[in-house]
Chain A
Amino acid sequence: MRLRTKALIAASLTGLAAWFLSAPNPLDRNEWQGHAGNLARGEQVFNIGGCASCHMEKGAKGEARLQLGGGQAFATPFGTFYAPNISPSESGIASWNALDLANALLRGVSPKQTHYYPAFPYGSYTRLAEQDIADLMLYLKTLPPVDQANHPHDLPFPFNIRRSNGFWKLLFLSDAPIAESTEPRGQYLVEGLGHCGECHTPRNALGGLDRSRWLAGAPNPEGKGRIPNLTPGGSLANWSVEDIAYYLESGFTPEFDTAGSTMVEVIENLAQASPEDRLAIAHYLKAIPALADAPKP
């Protein structure tokens, strides 16, 4: 065989392998259990998951927080993402069933079998319980439909190639537990539904979470300052479990300073969670490995 032919075959095989490796990996339709949803629990999942914070109009208050037409812009090192419409309208999720939602949250795959970008934090949501997803689906369908078309993401090459998310998933998408914990509910809320690590853990050059620095604080993607260290090695060292739970409910630190920036929105959501869930988060955080703050840049 001539060398050129050999090279051509090798290249084609590599391309073929890449194509298969980067393919979306949806759930097996036959293995999805048809859970009956519960509306009240769905609202809890919605609040702790913080869906509104990204999918509502920026700065919305009160009832407007439930109008999930999308459109908020998120500037990142990889380009600017725009949150899509997840209201029950034609531009949103009117046609979705619970399996569609499960594929989005657990696998980062759309009903059209394409990858979502991990700006949508399925890297955390992949740990969600099937029942929570069924409950959430029921709740989302009760929210007001917003008729607003999706704004396409504004990404430079190569990040504009959706298929490349398949490689990101191969590298970083795993539903394995991150920290050792004796607090399963807190672990589920922090590592999964509450997706705390998405902001509080630094990322590597490819946008994957640096698990060796789990919750140890990270640069603020929105500009000034740092997202705080949540491990017992940071400024939370002197906070009690009750202090943390109270902060998550009220937004007040033990010094009665108030939460700022994006955390205000998170607390608005967590204030609606149960006291037990806030305590579970606090217990989990007190028991994870203590890491010192990263040196100031």
Chain B
Amino acid sequence: MNIKKLAAISATALAFAASATGGGHSPIEQRIAAMKAVGGQMRTLGGMAQGKVDYDDFAALSALEIMRDAAITARPLFPTGTEMGFDTRAKPEIWAEGSDFDAIMGQLIANLDAAIAAEPADLASYRPLFGAIAGTCKSCHEKYRAPEN
């Protein structure tokens, strides 16, 4: 990975992170925008993992960086008192006793960090890293996200 690529990645990541926080003033609007930014990268990342699109290490790393920054943005945007409003699909279980919501968010960020640090050069080394990330998405959505309205 050369310096130019890294710079390009960081620039895109910054731009996206900025747009992720630009979704309005309330934490609910902001986290919806941030989670959309997380999900938006999944199309690139998932398409490559599924084999629909050829694996491109540069594109993968850019997407991972953007997703990590958006996840970091989203994590603190679930304070108590934001259970309702703006068509949020966040389930009340997030704020219930014994919730591991924040822990899963932390795990997502850790998995993204690990994938970025590994700089996967080919599809074979990329796939398991993507699997771990996607697994955290699923385990969290199962418990803490309601269906669409």
Contact = CB atoms under 8 A, between A and B. Distances in A.
A29 interface: no
Interface residues of B, number: 20
A227 B147 contact: yes
B141 interface: yes
A265 B89 CA distance: 18
B101 to A, nearest CB: 14
Contacts of B46: 252, 256
A259 B45 CA distance: 17
- The secondary-structure label for the interface of chain A is loop
Given A258-B137, A258-B141, A226 B43 contact: no
B138 interface: yes
Contact of A264 (B45, B91, B141): B141
Contacts of B147: 220, 224-228, 260-261
Nearest to B149: A225
B42 A260 contact: no
A52 to B, nearest CB: 15
Interface in A212-270: 220, 223-228, 246, 250-252, 255-261, 264-265
Contacts of B146: 220, 223-225, 260-261
Interface in A106-148: none
A16 B146 CA distance: 47
Main secondary structure of the interface of B (DSSP, over half): helix
Given A224-B89, A227-B147, A257 B142 contact: no
A264 B148 contact: no
Contacts of B39: 255-257
A224 B89 CA distance: 7
A260 B142 contact: yes
Given A224-B91, A255-B39, A255-B42, A260 B134 contact: no
Interface string B39-51: 1001101110010
A189 to B, nearest CB: 22
A264 B142 contact: yes
A6 interface: no
B145 interface: yes
A157 to B, nearest CB: 30
B132 to A, nearest CB: 14
A256 B43 contact: yes
Interface centre among B146, B147, B148 (most CB of A within 10 A): B147
A4 interface: no
B148 A258 contact: no
A255 B39 CA distance: 8
A225 B88 CA distance: 10
Contact of A228 (B47, B134, B148): B148
Interface in B43-97: 43, 45-47, 50, 89, 91
A228 B147 CA distance: 8
Contact of A257 (B42, B91, B143): B42
Nearest to B88: A224
Contacts of A255: 39, 42-43
8 contacts: A224-B89, A224-B91, A224-B147, A226-B148, A228-B148, A252-B42, A252-B50, A261-B142
Interface of B: 39, 42-43, 45-47, 50, 89, 91, 134, 137-138, 141-143, 145-149
Counting from the closest, the 4 A-B pairs by CB-CB distance are: A256-B46, A225-B147, A224-B146, A256-B42
